[in-house]
Amino acid sequence: MNKETLVEIQEKTGIRPKSIMSVGGGSISEAFIITTATEKLFLKFHKDVLAYDMFEKEGQGLRVIQETNTIATPKIHFVNQAFQGAYLIMDYIETKPASSKDHALLGSQLAELHHNSISYFGLDHVNFIGPIKQMNTPFDDWTDFYIENRIYPQLELAVQNGFIASEEIMSKEKLKTTCSHYFNEIQPALLHGDLWSGNYIIAKDGTPYLIDPALYYGHSEVDIAMTKLFGGFDTEFYKAYYEIQPQPEHPQAYQDLYQLYYLLVHLNLFGSSYYSGVKRILDRYFI
């Protein structure tokens, strides 16, 4: 982010920084901690043409989660366009390493979040997972939603990107037939949608916060599958979660089939190193 953009942000928001420090913001956006005379704020800036829409949907997702009164999210102050991109400004949360007790609280609060439901799977608008658009066209049936809005679009994108050969792609009917064997009596739950270890933080007082959601209403086990994709959370997280939510009927199948979506997203974002994980699940369930 250049000096001219910073001046523009100050003029639009009225924020008067005493200091601005660049921090690691992940692979998508630049991130900064702004210190003013009275508070600390967290600024995300991105140059992509879709940046404003991405940040707007991120802010909407955080507000929806906050309104459930189940788990905290940082307060959003501004989402604005800039001359060279867009930015999001929210509260900066002072953090600490997560203890087993903190993980247990995160697990129980996530379970309470998942008690929020509506009459369909999906959402009333498109949002994003990372920089990739995430379709949320509502469906009454979870299998239809998951294949039409999650798996098949990512498979098609992987073919377009040259990561998967077109002959490796099975039909929607084949995908749905297999998934429908496992996806029985599933009720819509409000999901974070991208719950890996980088998308929650623990405040210094032990309060869990969710950040960077890819929110929609789906099967609660989707969030659980994502927590396990890159090593898993503390065992106390799962213990506390399943003290509130029922144990899944097909735990291994749910984990594999829901991780398939995230592996496809990573394949399309970061390249062929994720192909073997995708191929393993496709071969196991759909060949």
Q: Give exposure, 225-242, as e/b (b: 16+ Cβ within 10 Å).
A: bbbebeeebbebbbebbe
SS3 content of the chain, % helix, strand, coil (to 5): 45, 20, 35
DSSP code of residue 115 = T
DSSP code of residue 127 = E
Active site residue 194: yes
| Residues 6+ positions from 124 with CB-CB distance below 8 Å | 136, 138
Task: Please name the residue that has the structure tokens 């921090």.
Answer: 23
- Residue among 194, 212, 234, 256 flagged as catalytic: 194
Give, to the nearest 10 degrees, the angle between helix 275-286 and helix 172-182: 70
Beta-strand runs (E) in 60-203:
76-82, 85-91, 127-129, 132-134, 189-191, 200-202
Query: Other CB atoms closer than 10 Å to residue 285's CB: what's the count?
Result: 18
Residues annotated as part of the active site: 194
